[in-house]
Structure 1
Amino acid sequence: MVALGRIGIRVLVAAAVAVIASMGLPGNALAEQRAMLGGGSGILLDGRYTCTLTTVGYDRAERMVGLTAGHCAEIGMSVQAEARQAGVIGTVAAVDHDSDFAVIDFDRAKVTPIRQVAQTFIDGIGTPPRLGDIVCENGRTSGFKCGLVWDTNLRWFQHQVCSRPGDSGGPVTIGDRLVGMNVGHIGVEMLGVRVFDIGCESLIAPLHDPAVATQIGMVLAAIDAGGGVGAGFRPL
């Protein structure tokens, strides 16, 4: 019989944990994986639809919540980070298809909220942009880009920034202030052909299909009026 001292036992335990980890088996000694999410992170809804997170914060009930575009979601859909390692990390708790936003109720044990994703850093809510302002958008497909505001009204604004499938829900910012949520593009027709961001990488402005964003203040006011998950939202 071979006698094992304390050092030998520790070595064997460490080796066993390493084997369990390599096999992908659960173990109390292994920390659960968490998703790091913020405005601009890619998310997966219902296991098949990719969109972008607008921002993460807390509501008045101290629930961790996130926002994305309403056309991405239906109530009860599961939500995952695009990388999926953490599994299901939340559920769609509210959807407004008219104003085109959705509220996600996150599992606080599985999500680490962050203020910065790529060049987008969100440190508060800003006032609506004005004609001629430069806004920046961050989408999981197109990445971070900035452009000129072309048109505004009380509910939405148009801007010269690309929006492709998967970018919906992405944050639109001025500096470190969140001012809008990307909801897609207008769909310009020229000579009978529907233009879909043909000019995204071109300087030929007439071929560009302007992106559309909802005013974030309008979105938050609508969530507050509903009084449910997300009401009283404040960013990190």
Structure 2
Amino acid sequence: MKMTLVAVLAALAVTLGVAPVAQAGPTIHVGPGTAYTPFPDVEGYCSIGAVGTDNAGRLVALTVGHCHQGAGTAVYKVGDAAKGPIGWETDVYSRNTDGTFTALDYAVIRLNPDVVVPSKYSDATDVVVSTVGDASPSNMGCNHGATTAKNCGIIGKVDGIHLQNWAVMWQGDSGGPIVVGETLVGLNIGMDFGTQPTTFYGKITPILADINAKGSYGAGFTLVQ
């Protein structure tokens, strides 16, 4: 009995199977000091402080509140905007509206697990964020921002919700981490250009406590390992 060409092809398909189409996985590294922006066509950016998961299993990043534009705003990694957004801003944030260092200054970004490769490692310096904790005066604290990279200085003051050290920072570094060793102790929030310029950071423990109290994105934050 002769088989038609259609029957032969059908038999081959059953025998050999159909090869699945390869799907592209996450390709965009996001970690401490990653530069991001909601406006990829406009100059300017902020930095990621740390990446982790919350108690709902969502992939999130911590950054500074004065860079926050509005819940639902898409954000892009600088240099990789063509690959699409790495995530979206949430309604979990706090900022200094008066330009002073009087309030908590942080924001939680919901990351897109379809495109983001989350990391505790910087892709530009040797800064690593492995744990969360508090700093003490005289500790050596190293910050990492997208503009000035890694800069270290002695922590001179730890007071309330802030800490300070003598280390360089500039526009675009906001939101980046300050670490003691591999311990995240704060987020970069700005510089006081007084007679003795110092960089200000929001202490990470009050920030996480405030996030937990809101019970939404970022609550129960656990660093990626």
TM-score, normalised to structure 1's length?
0.76
Where 1:71 maps in the other structure, the secondary structure is: helix
Q: In structure 1, how many angstroms separate the alpha carbons of the residues matched to 2:67 and 2:161?
A: 19
Where 2:29 maps in the other structure, the secondary structure is: strand
Q: How does 1:204-219 map to 2 (within 5 A)?
A: 206=196, 209-219=197-207
Q: In structure 2, how many angstroms separate the alpha carbons of the residues matched to 1:108 and 1:116?
A: 17
Counterpart of 1:100 (choices 105, 115, 121) is 105
**Could you tell me which amino acid in structure 1 is paired with residue 37 of structure 2?**
L
Q: How does 1:59-208 map to 2 (within 5 A)?
A: 59-76=54-71, 77-83=73-79, 84-93=81-90, 94-97=92-95, 98-117=103-122, 118-126=125-133, 128-188=134-194, 206=196
Percent identity reads 29
Is the contact between residue 26 and residue 113 of structure 2 (CA under 8 Å) also seen in structure 1? no
- Please list every run of 5 or more consecutive structure 1 residues that lacks an aligned counterpart in the other structure: 1-27, 191-205
Q: In structure 2, how many angstroms separate the alpha carbons of the residues matched to 1:185 and 1:231?
A: 28
Is the contact between residue 45 and residue 72 of structure 1 (CA under 8 Å) also seen in structure 2? no
Is the contact between residue 26 and residue 117 of structure 2 (CA under 8 Å) also seen in structure 1? no
Q: 1:41-83: per-residue Cα shift (whole Å, max 9, x none)?
A: 1111243440000000000000000011100112222111111
Residue matched to 1:194: none
Counterpart of 1:223 (choices 195, 201, 211) is 211
Q: In structure 2, how many angstroms separate the alpha carbons of the residues matched to 1:30 and 1:155?
A: 45
What do you get for the CA RMSD once the two structures are aligned? 1.5
**Could you tell me which amino acid in structure 1 is paired with residue 83 of structure 2?**
A
Is the contact between residue 40 and residue 53 of structure 1 (CA under 8 Å) also seen in structure 2? yes
Where 2:131 maps in the other structure, the secondary structure is: coil
Is the contact between residue 45 and residue 73 of structure 1 (CA under 8 Å) also seen in structure 2? no
Q: In structure 1, how many angstroms separate the alpha carbons of the residues matched to 2:140 and 2:149?
A: 16
Is the contact between residue 37 and residue 46 of structure 2 (CA under 8 Å) also seen in structure 1? yes
**Could you tell me which amino acid in structure 2 is paired with residue 68 of structure 1?**
T
Where 2:66 maps in the other structure, the secondary structure is: helix
- Please list every run of 5 or more consecutive structure 2 residues that lacks an aligned counterpart in the other structure: 1-20, 96-102
Residue matched to 1:40: 33
Greater than 3 Å deviation, 4+ residue runs: 46-49
Question: Relative contact order (C-alpha < 8 Å, sep 6+): which is higher?
Answer: 2
Q: In structure 2, how many angstroms separate the alpha carbons of the residues matched to 1:210 and 1:109?
A: 39
Q: In structure 2, how many angstroms separate the alpha carbons of the residues matched to 1:113 and 1:216?
A: 19
Q: 1:146-195: per-residue Cα shift (whole Å, max 9, x none)?
A: 1011111120011011110000001100111101100011131x5xxxxx
Q: How does 1:25-36 map to 2 (within 5 A)?
A: 29=22, 31=24, 34-36=27-29
How many aligned positions are there? 190
Where 1:161 maps in the other structure, the secondary structure is: coil
TM-score, normalised to structure 2's length?
0.80
**Could you tell me which amino acid in structure 1 is paired with residue 70 of structure 2?**
I
Q: 1:26-50: per-residue Cα shift (whole Å, max 9, x none)?
A: xx65726621110111111243440
